Structure 1
Amino acid sequence: MRRADRLFQVIQILQSTGNVITAAMIADELEVSTRTIYRDIQDLMANRVPIRGEAGTGYILDKGYDLPPLMFNEEEIDAVMLGVHWVLSNGDPDIQRAARDVLGKIRSVLPKDRQELMQSARQVVPQPPQQAPIQISMPMIRRSIRERRKLEVVYRSLSGDISQRVICPMIVVFFQNIQLLVGWCELRRDYRNFRMDCFQQAVPLDRFFSRSDFESLDSYLKRSKESQQSEKSG
């Protein structure tokens, strides 16, 4: 790893942690010696990066510090390109357009050698099977999730039954050829997985919910994952 990349990652670790972290912990994450991290932090502090702390106690980065312009290392660029290619293969048209915009913005601020790494990335994301068409607006669904806004929906089950419900949308889950919306269903008074291609209609309401009201969501997702793994192993 280039030293410039390592210094950048030290700042990233300090910024993402938000609390006091020791040089040994940073060294373990970056797979270098503690002595190397001590030198790096001293150099960063000498260059006016607002790091507070001392050896043996730990370090913390002052809030409000902005990282310098994007300086992705090779692995980070590969990760970005893999994610963008996956979205381009699996996302709806609006999120695909957003992914292409992200690439353009990243290219515009990267140094030339980093841009060349983006162009030379060699990772292939297989094209998924043909997905059933989704009739409702995915940008609206994502916006409702971010705003924690309830939705009034008309839903047609795979057996053909049609129901009208109010749901609290939580997350969208991507599978190979379908997308699921996980949410709290007021009709069933429980969490439900809704196939996105089965929605006939979805209208945002002027009613909101709090994520703290659904602290059991993580438990539900864990149970669902365990159930899927059990079905595969069986």
Structure 2
Amino acid sequence: MRRAERLFELVQLIRGRRLSTAAWLADRLGVSARTVYRDVADLLAQGVPIEGEAGVGYRLGRGYELPPLMFSSAQAQALVAAIRVAAPRLDDRMARDAEDALGRILAVMPSTERTAADRLALFVPPHLRERMPGREALAPVRLAIDQRRKLRLDYRDAAGQASQRVVRPLACFCWDAVWTLAAWCEARSDFRHFRLDRMAAIETLDEPFRDEPGRTLADFLRRIEDEGRLKKTKGPARGPSARD
């Protein structure tokens, strides 16, 4: 990697995170921490508003804009592949937005990279959309997650038993054949997975929710990690991975 390219990539890496240590940056760039310190000093001398210090971490000052990002042919093909694979699994609105975003990126690429992306021989057949039941429920669920509003679900479990749940939606997970919602279920006072294709009705409530100890996405992910370690030593344990 030429030095000019490395400096550009360094700014991109710092820009993409709240705080980046020199060790992490050095690992991503394939250089020594000493080289990172020197490059940061050079960027500061050129007027790039990098905040922080050696031994602590770096971040980019607010309001700093970079020129349009350029991609290699391989990176352009990776973007096309990602959108083609993801689109059939997304709700219609997000799939259209993803394809529009890809079109905008390709439109400003040099002709060589754009041609390489266009000729990528990697496709997902349209009929795979039929293999993602519950995909239409993804839009209101992810909106509720973004707005941090509770949901009321008319739900049927694996045995076909109907119930109505009020949940705090935390995150959606794609299992290739189905989407699930990880949520704090107020009826069970615990984390639960809900399959989107088993949601007969979804109502977004006016009632917002905020993070409370033991009920956050971070708590859920920690529980999953703990369960994984437990399974290696004592076998399966019922917890947030249990699906209703």
What TM-score, normalized by structure 1, do the two folds share?
Answer: 0.79
Q: Name the structure 2 match of 1:97.
A: 96
Gaps of 5+ in 2: 237-244
Superposed, 1:1-234 pairs within 5 Å as 1-19=1-19, 21-22=21-22, 25-33=24-32, 37=36, 40-41=39-40, 43-51=42-50, 60-74=59-73, 76-121=75-120, 123=122, 130-131=130-131, 133-134=133-134, 137-213=137-213, 214-215=215-216, 216-223=219-226
Tell me how far 1:61 sits from its aligned partner.
3.3
Where 2:158 maps in the other structure, the secondary structure is coil
Structure 2 CA distance for aligned equivalents of residues 39 and 7 of structure 1? 10
Structure 1 CA distance for aligned equivalents of residues 57 and 186 of structure 2? 48
Structure 2 CA distance for aligned equivalents of residues 142 and 106 of structure 1? 25
Counterpart AA for 1:170: L
Relative distance call for 1:6 and 1:120 in structure 2 (3 A) is: farther
Relative distance call for 1:162 and 1:86 in structure 2 (3 A) is: same
Coordinate RMSD, CA, aligned: 3.4
Divergent runs of 4+, >3 A: 1-5, 16-22, 33-47, 51-61, 73-79, 111-114, 120-130, 223-231
Tell me how far 1:2 sits from its aligned partner.
4.9
Can you list the C-alpha shifts for 1:25-83, whole angstroms capped at 9, x where unaligned? 53332113556546644553454322367889976532331222122345543442332
Greater mean alpha carbon deviation, residues 3-12 or residues 191-200: 3-12
Relative distance call for 1:226 and 1:44 in structure 2 (3 A) is: same
Structure 1 CA distance for aligned equivalents of residues 124 and 9 of structure 2? 28
Relative distance call for 1:227 and 1:161 in structure 2 (3 A) is: farther
Structure 2 CA distance for aligned equivalents of residues 115 and 227 of structure 1? 48
Counterpart AA for 1:143: L
Counterpart AA for 1:182: A
Relative distance call for 1:227 and 1:56 in structure 2 (3 A) is: closer
* Contact 1:150–1:207 (Cα < 8 Å) also in 2: yes
Counterpart AA for 2:84: H
Gaps of 5+ in 1: none
Relative distance call for 1:209 and 1:25 in structure 2 (3 A) is: closer
Number of aligned positions between the proteins: 230
* Contact 1:152–1:167 (Cα < 8 Å) also in 2: yes
What TM-score, normalized by structure 2, do the two folds share?
Answer: 0.76
Structure 1 CA distance for aligned equivalents of residues 199 and 116 of structure 2? 41
* Contact 1:150–1:166 (Cα < 8 Å) also in 2: yes
Percent identity over the alignment is: 35
Structure 2 CA distance for aligned equivalents of residues 66 and 103 of structure 1? 21
Where 2:131 maps in the other structure, the secondary structure is coil
Counterpart AA for 1:10: L
* Contact 2:134–2:196 (Cα < 8 Å) also in 1: yes
Structure 2 CA distance for aligned equivalents of residues 155 and 5 of structure 1? 52
